[in-house]
Structure 1
Amino acid sequence: MNDRAVALLEQYEIEVLRTRKGRGAILCDTQRGCLIFKEYTGREEQLRLQERVLKHLEEQGTVPAERLLATKEGALSVTDRDGVRYILKTWWEGRECNIRDREECMEAMRLLARLHGDLEFTPVFPETEETSAPVIERYLPSRDYEKRNRELKRARRFLKQRSQKTWFEIRLSAVIDPFLEEARQLCEEWKEIELAASDSGEEVPLCFCHGDYQYHNILRQDRGFFLVNFEKCQADGPVRDLYLLLRKLLEKSEWDAEWGRVLLAAYESVRPLKPYERQDLVYRLSYPEKLWKIVNFYYNSGKAWIPEKNQEKLDRLLEQEAARKKFLKLLQR
């Protein structure tokens, strides 16, 4: 980030004492504490939603989280002469949540449950002549997974047509069909559940989620945890966050079923899952997302040289598959 970008800080009601480089951003020591100034590539509507969610969390006072700061004119972002946009947020100096520390992982689960307890609300947006309230659409998992299934099918067709295959491609060709069939069946069941829910006419509370709740975005300091990077927050159920963190932690532990039970119990000690949320969690964990990621990276990369890392990830996935199925059975009891 260059000096021109730093000059944009003059548009904020702050006194910058010192700046230093962070991860793709500028950390600013100010009279209001440490702030972070970083590029923003999302939509304005998403930024306004993020600001409203974070403001609501601050009002609740339960979960320490970042806040977006507005300019002197009330704008949530600033733009340099090259058209690059930036946002300014509060920041805590700290380290990421230690995924090898089981106590910290359980604490992160309990914090997530408190976060979800605060994010069941209907946001009110101030409207002006220039802006209207963002349109909030509920997330439908089947839409994402239908798209992913189409991508898996394209990759399978490509593999079948490829005459000379590497060892990775031979291995992937041999295992992709059962995963794709599992993905197709799950997507069909998901659509039926979504259709039944819409036909029931029952009013489902509007609930938001962090959208990217993983250890990189859970910072630890002496005062406790601090949540950052809400850029992906959206109107999806709490299971989106729970699924993401649970899957990542279980992958690191070879899908240890007992550890998964302990993590889920930590979450439910604060916020018990509703029956439909538990079903949602089973479906998300059942979808072969890890395989889709491996296939998507392979299909959209150059084929002249396939990184050895691809083979390692596929081997690890296949080694963990029996343990993953075991945990899913435990979850459905």
Structure 2
Amino acid sequence: MEDMYEKILWEGYGLRFYSGTRTRTGLVCKTDKGLRELKKARERMNNIRYAHDVKECLYRNGFTVISRFYNTMDGQPCFAKDGTLYVLEELLPSTPLDEDGKDSFVKGAETLGKMHQCAKGLESTFIQWDKERLPGQFSKRRVELAKIKRRIQRQGGYDSIDLLVMDNFNTYMEQTIQAEEFLQRAQYKDLVERAEREGAFCHHSFKGENLRVSDDGRLYVGGFEGCNSDIPLLDLAAYLKRYMKKTDGDKDGVFQILEAYQKNNPLEDKERVLLQALTIYPEKFLRLVNEYYNKRRACVSPAMQERLALAVEEEGRARELFHYIQEV
């Protein structure tokens, strides 16, 4: 394998490879120009080019706590070798942000708000906005849930997952309808159009191993490969849900996270309404249910049963979050 790394670094970047250390995300390479992290890209070429444009915009606007891509010798942010794409990045700090308490999430939220603020003015030829994405998704999942219920009722006997769906059907159908109503109240399409005009993006993985703490206490952000053109508020909603999942989240913590985010990126009334739509919508449960019933089942999957049971717990915490946001 070292021969392969040596070829990638030399042919793609003009670097000499001396040695490497494996990490969870890739390979830390010692080269003649210092340490670099080499990763197999999980995204397509244009996604990587878009992520590169996002990073460069952030860096220009003062958000420097990121790992930028090194360009190849022909000026590309990734290198193709034997049908596989590779990216070479600056090395992030090794210590992940602890997610076991309110203070860590408050620190993360402040960084998230600053990142979203510094993305304004983003320009890229690889931007792809979809103004109908969320309304279409919410409506589609609501229709699918109704079909799944009818399918369960027609088949006669219920297995454990069927019972789980039937027990929660009314609650999640009501929440999905409520989320659609909030989308309309928030004037979602107008918010998308404004985000497009201003230049904005959604990271989609602002969590866990992608958040690293340096020796001087600064919080660095990695994992940009999956980012895309979308309303930044999706990141905040996901981060608040993660706070409720990882801690004994309470209203005070939610208030402090929102306050920290808004230090750099204040929310308007319509955005608060959209945040309510994103938190009340039972995205994870509906996604897993759709995944399960669209496959041919020979028997009940214990793994899926466990995942759905955990999703029910998480959706319960998300309902608490929804009520906290209404109160603050």
Give the TM-score of the pair, scaled to structure 2.
0.84
Q: After TM superposition, give the deviation of residue 136 of structure 1 in Å.
A: 3.4
- 2-structure distance, mates of 1:144, 1:151: 10
Q: After TM superposition, give the deviation of residue 96 of structure 1 in Å.
A: 2.1
Whether 1:227 aligns to 2:221 is yes
User: Which residue identity does 2:111 align to in structure 1?
Assistant: L
Select 2:135's aligned residue among 123, 137, 142.
142
Whether 1:56 aligns to 2:34 is no
- 2-structure distance, mates of 1:4, 1:210: 31
> Residues 6-37 of structure 1, C-alpha deviation per residue, up to 9 Å, x if partnerless?
52221203333321222252221234443222
Deviates more, 1:135-144 or 1:236-245: 135-144
Deviates more, 1:163-172 or 1:283-292: 163-172
Q: After TM superposition, give the deviation of residue 138 of structure 1 in Å.
A: 5.0
- 2-structure distance, mates of 1:93, 1:4: 26
Q: After TM superposition, give the deviation of residue 295 of structure 1 in Å.
A: 1.4
Give matches, 1:48-197, under 5 Å.
48-81=49-82, 83-123=83-123, 133-138=125-130, 140-187=133-180, 190=183, 193-194=186-187, 197=190
State, as a whole percentage, how many aligned pairs show the same letter.
22
**Quick check: 1:66–1:89 contact (8 Å CA) kept in 2?**
yes
User: Which residue identity does 1:71 align to in structure 2?
Assistant: T
> Residues 88-129 of structure 1, C-alpha deviation per residue, up to 9 Å, x if partnerless?
222224132211133222111111111111011131x5xxxx
- Kindly indicate whether structure 1 or structure 2 has the higher relative contact order, using CA contacts under 8 Å at least 6 residues apart: 2
Unmatched 5+ residue regions in structure 1? 126-132
> Residues 141-182 of structure 1, C-alpha deviation per residue, up to 9 Å, x if partnerless?
223333433543454344334333322321222222431243
Structure with the largest fraction of helix: 2
Partner of 1:299: 293
Deviates more, 1:309-318 or 1:212-221: 309-318
Cα pair distance change 1:116/1:201, threshold 3 Å: closer
**Quick check: 2:66–2:92 contact (8 Å CA) kept in 1?**
no
Select 1:206's aligned residue among 160, 174, 199.
199
Q: After TM superposition, give the deviation of residue 77 of structure 1 in Å.
A: 2.2
- 2-structure distance, mates of 1:314, 1:154: 18
Cα pair distance change 1:171/1:108, threshold 3 Å: same
Give matches, 1:27-66, under 5 Å.
27-66=28-67
Q: After TM superposition, give the deviation of residue 320 of structure 1 in Å.
A: 6.1
**Quick check: 1:160–1:173 contact (8 Å CA) kept in 2?**
no
Give matches, 1:230-241, under 5 Å.
230-241=224-235
Deviates more, 1:140-149 or 1:274-283: 140-149
User: Which residue identity does 2:108 align to in structure 1?
Assistant: A
- 2-structure distance, mates of 1:195, 1:23: 38
Partner of 1:284: 278
Give the TM-score of the pair, scaled to structure 1.
0.83
> Over aligned residues, Cα RMSD in angstroms?
3.1
- 2-structure distance, mates of 1:202, 1:246: 21
Per the alignment, in what secondary structure is the counterpart of residue 68 of structure 1? Answer: coil
Partner of 1:9: 9
Give matches, 1:256-267, under 5 Å.
256-267=250-261
What count of residue pairs does the alignment treat as equivalent? 324
- 2-structure distance, mates of 1:56, 1:108: 20
Give matches, 1:290-329, under 5 Å.
290-299=284-293, 303-318=297-312, 324-329=318-323
Cα pair distance change 1:41/1:318, threshold 3 Å: closer
- 2-structure distance, mates of 1:122, 1:92: 23
Unmatched 5+ residue regions in structure 2? none
**Quick check: 1:53–1:119 contact (8 Å CA) kept in 2?**
yes
- 2-structure distance, mates of 1:89, 1:287: 36
Per the alignment, in what secondary structure is the counterpart of residue 69 of structure 1? Answer: coil
**Quick check: 1:218–1:228 contact (8 Å CA) kept in 2?**
yes
- 1-structure distance, mates of 2:34, 2:184: 47
Cα pair distance change 1:154/1:40, threshold 3 Å: farther
**Quick check: 1:256–1:323 contact (8 Å CA) kept in 2?**
no
Cα pair distance change 1:144/1:17, threshold 3 Å: farther
**Quick check: 2:201–2:228 contact (8 Å CA) kept in 1?**
yes
> Residues 201-237 of structure 1, C-alpha deviation per residue, up to 9 Å, x if partnerless?
9995232232221123111231322111111222222
